[in-house]
Amino acid sequence: MEMNVDNTKSAAADESRDEDRRQTNQSCKAEETKIEDGFIPDITEIDIRDQYLVENPVSKEAYADLKHYAPCRLGIGKAGARMKTLPVLEFRAAHSAAQDAVFSNVDQDFIDNMGLFTVQTQCTSKDIYLTRPDLGRKLSEEGVKTVEEKCKKNPKVQIYVSDGLSSAAVAANVGDVLPAVEQGLKSYGIESGTPFFVKYGRVGAMDQISEITGADVTCVLIGERPGLITAESMSAYIAYKATVGMPEARRTVVSNIHKSGTIPAEAGAHIADVIKKILDKKASGTDLKL
């Protein structure tokens, strides 16, 4: 009789454990198949000029004015003696975006859609480009031949695009800037040469390109070294009758071209105006009095 009671208790205990296992398995399966309909916002899209993280500023008006002038990390608040979580994450995201801009390449489809052919400098990789700036100022032998074959000879203006230190800047701005420059020059009756793209290019490559094409004015649209405010800043370097080894002071620069700086379409029109003045004055850089 006692044995039957023990067997009954043991069977009941086993059944209870099995039921617990079934419930646990069902719970785990439910958790595994649970789907949340949500997303993580891109914090790099936040305009920090509109971000007020100081909870009780002494003067709200002065705080707002200070934030309005520039997209700098001003008045980001703190949690005790530390920075708040959001500014820290934004800082890291901006740093990552800057790294991506430097180490990534301009998408070939974008270059093709812009109607540009591609030549390369004597740099054979991104690492060599970053460590040997001198090689980024010289076209490869094949690049020289390609420019000689495909570009118009002795144009008034030769415009080309280069990745520089930010492929993101090229992708974000060239689509608006290049057509605006060409349209502006056309409105002035100024002839421009055949545009193209230079991979792994430094600013100084424009000197050799000027000599090859025989252009009166050479203009390069190039990605600038990215910072923590933007990774998409582009500049236009312009020179009158540039030659290899000329002083840097002979270059005119239109800088800070991006959506939060000089708007790309407006920058294109301004670049065309500057080129017109350079042709009229036959001078550029510090020799040009605007």
Whether 224 has a binding-site annotation, put simply, is: yes
- Bridging pattern class, strands 117-120 and 196-199: parallel
Question: Hey, which residues does 160 pair with through a beta bridge?
Answer: 220
Q: How many angstroms separate the CA atoms of 195 and 215, rounded?
A: 12
- Bridging pattern class, strands 217-223 and 157-162: parallel
Q: How many angstroms separate the CA atoms of 201 and 119, rounded?
A: 10
Q: Give the neighbor-by-neighbor strand order of the sheet with 251-257.
A: 117-120, 196-199, 157-162, 217-223, 234-240, 251-257
Which position has the token pair 């454990």? 17
3-state secondary structure of 140: coil
Q: How far is CA 51 from the centre of its chain?
A: 22
Cβ(214)–Cβ(206) under 8 Å?
Answer: no
Whether 203 has a binding-site annotation, put simply, is: yes
Q: What is the DSSP string of 32-87?
A: HT---------GGG--GGG----SS-S-HHHHHHHHHH-SS--S---BTTB--HHH
Binding-site members for adenosylcob(III)alamin are 203, 224
Binding annotation = 203, 224
